[in-house]
A and B are shown apart, each in its own frame.
Chain A
Amino acid sequence: MIQFYYAYQPIIDFFLLSVGFGYSQQIALRAGVFSIATAGFAALGSYCVAILATKTGVPIFLTVILGTALAAAVGGLLALPLARLRGAFQAIATLAFVQIILSLLLYGEGFTGGALGIVGIPREVNTWILLIVVGLTMYVMWNIGRSGMGRVFNALRQEESVASSLGVNIGKYHIIAFIISGAVGGLFGGLQSLYTFQIEPHNYGFAFIVNVLTVVILGGRTTLLGPIMGALIMAILPEIARPLAEYRQAVNGVILILVITFLPNGVGDEIVFWFRRRKQARQQQHRASEKEARDAVS
């Protein structure tokens, strides 16, 4: 076990960070928002933490809180102009948001180190911390799924007009989804910068966007298991597909196309749905036999 851990520690850590970013991406999609802003939130959290940790004496713990709060606040603000947009236009607007953040990071050289980024960030985060934070995030996501908020998100994703006919304030719930997406993205961005020693704007570019999307598409957009399965596949795949290492991005591309075409709910969601269906079938059987018994008595 211990040996396994040391051999695979980088992969495990990568997996945990991917899960975290995956939840940030998932919560938006789950609420029916085509946001790809997670990269921007992660960049905000990560730079906030890196700058505070390297240039000020703010306690590390507090830097993460501040990074999370900053990304959450920006997420909430971002939701306001986006309130009127839907579908492809949301995707484009959030993409523009990421580009604006990245170019400001490049521009603010004195503060952000420009293209070279920030080096010498204290390495305060390890596997256990990541594990605990992922666990807490999952707990919150689980609660959301079982509460009224989860029901509202499901309704918004599937049929917005129904939700508003039942009193759902669409704008308010989009703001909530963006705040959560921002907070989770910023939180894991902060952890990432305390893990990797060095960050640069490039880390949060197109490749990041694609990776996070891939995690959620492979895993699933609605269940707790989704990002875990997605991140797991993304972490293990390079190990299995070693011979294709040079074509890793192409392999990812092929998998994206295959999954979205033939398994559109994603692996994790499909697993959960399968168990759900089996349970339903059992309950039905149960009820039918109960009914039979009752009919036999009367």
Chain B
Amino acid sequence: MNGEAAAPMVGAPMVEAKALVKRFGDVEAVRGIDVQVRTGEAFGFLGPNGAGKSSTMRMIASTSPRSDGDLRVLGMDPDVDGPRIRARLGSVPQQDTLDTELTLRQNLQIYGRYFGMSRADVRRKATELMEFAQLSERADGLVDALSGGMKRRLTIARSLVNDPDLLLLDEPTTGLDPQARHMLWDRLFRLKAGGVTLIITSHYMDEVEQLCDRLVVMDDGRIVAEGSPSELIARYSTREVLELRFAPGEQGGIAARVAEFGERVEELPDRVLVYTGDGERALEQVHGRDVRPVSSLVRRSTLEDVFLRLTGRTLVD
């Protein structure tokens, strides 16, 4: 080493996947995706059940070997340097894998030790993280006695024990109440401000919109779109959406009748969506055509609309 103090490599890819494939027997869960996650950014994987989000996350977490293609995490190859990569990752798997027969504190301390941390360090860190997860009063109780959301919070706290450079969160907010969700978002923002790179999967488009600088939409093992939330909305949707709901059985034929009032119309089982730059105006025109919905709503486009456009399906039913 020449001893020069090097600056952190801002913008160097934390994760770089090329034609990445994951197969389970005959099932191809990930079918050749290209992804680049830059240092310091918050990156999202959005997609429906079975899209291959978790399979991708596990490959990045270096717990699941790739079947094909190329992958670099923190500049290293998981097949060669798995332990070295994992030493610097935080990972929140989709399923909590806590030791329910131990206390919260013991869970955090034992986990921290696997990262080569000293007893004193893990003790201090455990206390700090239980504070972070607002579980301090339960610190010395058994994990078994926690509610589902509390377990989730503990799993998230556990992932931070080694001060990770890259934090992988697979549906972190599943099972959290709205308050805990917002608390977590706040914490994630702060981690990001502290230089931690985040990769998040979610079914919740609001979550991804809030948290992620950039995201990919996955469907059936492939990436169907990539960009920032606002870019994707601008590219694949209109500024506003008019939602029309009808009494049961009265929706038939409506889509065709209102089609001319928007750039695009989608018919869902329970409503008709009119994509337009000006929702109020479209609504007036709809009324002018003597179409009488039982209720109507004008809202901004979201990633949900992007997803619908790209896959023809809704993300959350």
A is bound by B = no
